[in-house]
Amino acid sequence: DAKTTQPPSMDCAEGRAANLPCNHSTISGNEYVYWYRQIHSQGPQYIIHGLKNNETNEMASLIITEDRKSSTLILPHATLRDTAVYYCIVDANNNAGNMLTFGGGTRLMVKP
Amino acid sequence: DTGVSQDPRHKITKRGQNVTFRCDPISEHNRLYWYRQTLGQGPEFLTYFQNEAQLEKSRLLSDRFSAERPKGSFSTLEIQRTEQGDSAMYLCASSLAWIGGYTFGSGTRLTVV
């Protein structure tokens, strides 16, 4: 069972920030929050992950609430190429195999 | 290294035939995963290897499915006596143990007619 809840779809205007929410109210202390995205007809692409601190890389920022029950992925300046399905996943980053469980994700549509 | 490679990209087969897919992971990655994805759904875990050892198999992996990673490098996924319900995208991913983030291949799209 997926441990996260995401809105099924969102729209964003090109050039604006895209803020994708994720609820993970049953997250355990050793579980990380991962974000992947999947562009049509391609395999999923890793974006970012974090435990409790906010994280930023060249693709996105990840904001995790203090109680860790929810997070937001931020694409600061969305482009048409960011149109994809975005998956939020929680998993323990340990030696147990890390079999990621994907839910339905959020289909982000970036519009001109 | 150009990432995770999967071959073929597309496969159309008749029901009852056997098919085999190949995955070449990133060379230094010791973990390799197989996932299946049907239209409109997220990927579902099938099995994973650490080096040559197959450490976990999903209940989705019926007796008709078998996966190997003989030398801890490339892997094959075979489906025997294919059924129409096997039609899906089969995704391979690799990673380093302890380090977050998989790298996925582009997948093999199987159509059983």
What pLDDT is stored for residue A94 in this prediction?
60
Residues of B in contact with A36 (CB under 8 A): 102
Could you tell me what percent of chain A has a pLDDT over 70?
93
Q: How far apart are the first and last CA of chain A?
A: 36
Report the SS3 class of residue A81.
helix
Could you tell me what percent of chain B has a pLDDT over 70?
96
Closest in B58, B91, B101 to A43, CB measured:
B91
Q: CA of B21 to nearest chain A CA: how many angstroms apart?
A: 15
Integer Cα distance of A16 and B81 in angstroms? 50
Closest in A46, A95, A100 to B103, CB measured:
A46
Cβ(A61)–Cβ(A50) under 8 Å? Answer: no
Closest in B56, B98, B101 to A99, CB measured:
B56
What pLDDT is stored for residue B59 in this prediction?
87
Mean predicted lDDT score pLDDT of chain A: 91
Q: Are B101 and A34 within 8 A, CB to CB?
A: yes
